[in-house]
Chains A and B, each alone.
Chain A
Amino acid sequence: MTNNSNKEKTLGEVMRSRGVSRRSFLKFCAATASMMAMSPAMIPKIAHALESARRPSVIWLSFQECTGCTESLTRAHTATIESLIFDSISLDYHHTLQAASGHAAEEAREAAMNENWGKYILVVDGSIPTDNPGYSTIAGISNLDMFMQTAAGAAAIISVGTCAAYGGIPHADPNPTGAYSVYDVIKKFSNNQLDGISSATLAKAGEGSVVSKPIISVPGCPPIPVVITGVLTHFLTFGTIPELDHLGRPKAFYGQSIHDRCYRRPFYDKGLFAETFDDEGAKKGWCLYKLGCKGPTTYNACATTKWNDGTSFPIESGHPCLGCSEPDFWDGGGFYKALSMPTENITQTAIYTAAGAAAVGVALGAMNKSKKNNAVAAHNKTTIDDLEK
């Protein structure tokens, strides 16, 4: 984890000590400003803020997750400035990356919390089980308790990955652990819908007014590394959180859909689609809509920032977008079902309905017929006598 002597250094000092040139640093600042749709006049401000920023304390909690988010964020191919910023934050606690475990690690977390109360950034990856506290514990502390206690003293919470942002795979139907996202857990807390939370945690959460903490969601399975550094840069530069959309995602990165920025979009507009993964259309790079691409309903920066050092993104390598940065993408009826296809078995529904309806129709017809026959049978012919009455 963090070296204490490094803790007092500014980010600029840390970067210089790692041999990052002024030119590449400014290039990073320019790229960040442009990515976050800021004016070029902001570049010197970003550079100054980053250079002089004391390294913020970051506590990283991993709950019901697969470690893919941490893998994504820590595996830069080259020593980029993004990764240096990530390396240079005072990552005071990270379940996966720290060597210590058990009570010693928890003491470190509590020490970091007390030292920076109200100022640290809480990063969460993984969803939080709410059904039974025993489903997921760390050093005997339930995920729910640990989250609420740590969130109480945070300046802001960053939900990294789809599990923390929306519940992700653990939240997928039938959600056996009662898993919820960071946002939903806090919402449930404010509505008094959380059971299994200790009284000590309740007191701490109330004291730290957890309900009013700003939450930034950085969804994706996993999320793009540059998005998290972009969010951190914004926080370090302005001391505020970036502009968010209705799902709490930074608009700078999640403002446009994959479909709108996809280089295969012209093929969609022309109606040229790959029908299978190995047909002529696929070889010619046509649109993957028919193969289940969720790009039209997915908001993320994959098509612009790309992955693996800007190499490509899933659609570029011939696979449809799964929609991993949208809520409940696991329950969307299958990755290879096109968006215009129903998610349920409509054929079966229609056949059963048709059979039932045919029976009802025949019965109604028979009833009508018998009604008619009865009416005919009950009909009395008019006689001469009747006319004389």
Chain B
Amino acid sequence: MSEIEFLNWVRGPGFQIAIIIFVAGVIIRFAEILLLGRKPNLAEAKGSEMSSGLRTIITRSIPDKGTFQRSMFTVVAGYIFHLGLFITIFLFAPHILMFKDIFGFGWPSLPTPVVDAMAIVTIIALFAVLIHRMRNTVLKFISTKEDYIVWLVTILPLITGYIAFHRIGMTAPTLLAIHILSVELLLIMFPFTKLMHTFTIVMSRWYGGAISGYRGVKS
């Protein structure tokens, strides 16, 4: 297989396979969660589920003072790499073209040097959280193999993308193909790992808030 054949494969059939697994996996997992059902709550509602739920989506996204002081590193590094991932994935012009091809619409991009710099910041932040995870006794104890695999499949597209953009080491078609392949690996792993929190986070935060709202307590 020549490098262009490899590139054509990851842009075509390879991408299709990854999308099938990603879409099917995410939908089936959602269906399973939503169809589990809840026992009817016979207690009288003491507040609104909806407003408390919606409020909690926002309040839980902003660390309270105590949490921030206790885990400043986790909060800051976590925010940096999540924001960095959002910028590099969704605000880089070539990526928007890909989304436009799939969704039928695009959005404005950030200047390439900004995305380039954010990619480096994100990579550094991801390494920092890994080192923190491995050096903190409690974190290390509760970490599973999955945590490290998820870290790897998240950072791989960033590193391969950075190398492909700057064309370091190998020929351009190979670098681009490796980058797309690493994204496909991420898509395939997505529904079966903690990466699912990307989609479930809003729902679970709402649910947590809704329970408190029903009971009439602060969430």
Contact = CB atoms under 8 A, between A and B. Distances in A.
Given A326-B173, A350-B19, A332 B4 contact: yes
A365 B12 contact: no
Interface of B: 2, 4-5, 7-8, 11-13, 15-16, 19-20, 23-28, 30-32, 34-37, 93-95, 97-98, 101-104, 109-113, 115, 167, 171-173, 176
A253 interface: no
Nearest to B96: A340
A32 B171 CA distance: 25
A59 to B, nearest CB: 28
Given A328-B5, A342-B98, A333 B23 contact: no
A37 interface: no
A364 B51 CA distance: 31
B112 A353 contact: no
Contacts, number: 141
A271 B110 contact: yes
Task: Give the interface SS of chain A, mostly helix, strand, loop or mixed.
Answer: helix
A271 B109 contact: yes
A364 B113 contact: no
B19 A270 contact: no
A63 interface: no
Interface string A340-370: 1111101101100110111011101110110
26 contacts: A246-B171, A257-B172, A270-B112, A270-B113, A271-B93, A271-B115, A296-B176, A297-B172, A326-B173, A327-B5, A332-B8, A339-B11, A339-B94, A342-B16, A342-B101, A344-B11, A344-B12, A344-B15, A346-B15, A347-B103, A349-B20, A354-B27, A358-B27, A361-B30, A361-B35, A364-B28
Size category of the A interface is: 35 or more
A289 interface: yes
Contact of A347 (B7, B102, B111, B172): B102
A60 interface: no
A179 B143 CA distance: 55
Interface in A200-245: none
A343 B180 CA distance: 12
A147 interface: no
Contact of A328 (B2, B24, B176): B2
B93 A342 contact: no
B29 to A, nearest CB: 8
A297 B7 contact: yes
A55 interface: no
Contact of A290 (B11, B93, B103): B93
B95 A340 contact: yes
A354 B31 CA distance: 11
Contacts of A54: none
Given A290-B97, A344-B16, A350-B23, 12 more contacts: A328-B2, A328-B8, A332-B8, A340-B94, A346-B19, A346-B102, A347-B104, A350-B19, A356-B24, A362-B35, A368-B32, A369-B35
A260 B26 CA distance: 40
A260 B24 contact: no
Contacts of B2: 166, 247, 327-328
Which of the listed residues A260, A329, A343, A362 has the most CB atoms from chain B within 10 Å of its own CB? Answer: A343
Contact of A296 (B98, B102, B172): B172
A94 interface: no
Given A341-B98, A346-B101, A357 B172 contact: no
A327 B4 contact: yes
A301 B19 CA distance: 37
B23 A270 contact: no
Nearest to B179: A340
Given A271-B109, A357-B28, A338 B94 contact: yes
Nearest to A299: B171
CB-based closest 3 A-B pairs? A361-B31, A365-B35, A340-B94
Nearest to A246: B171
Interface of A: 166, 246-247, 257, 259-260, 268-271, 273, 289-290, 296-297, 299, 323, 326-329, 331-333, 337-344, 346-347, 349-350, 353-354, 356-358, 360-362, 364-366, 368-369
Nearest to A347: B102
A260 to B, nearest CB: 7
- Which among B5, B34, B173 has the highest number of chain A CB atoms within 10 Å? B173
Nearest to A329: B4
Contacts of B113: 269-271
Given A289-B94, A365-B35, A353 B4 contact: no
Nearest to B7: A297
Nearest to B29: A361
Nearest to A292: B97
B28 A360 contact: yes
Nearest to B27: A357
Contacts of B109: 271
A343 B11 contact: yes
B20 to A, nearest CB: 5
Contacts of A346: 15-16, 19, 101-102
A343 B27 contact: no
B172 A342 contact: no
B35 A343 contact: no
A368 B35 contact: yes
A357 B24 contact: yes
A365 B33 CA distance: 9
Contacts of A362: 31, 35
Contacts of A296: 172, 176
Contact of B13 (A271, A289, A344): A344
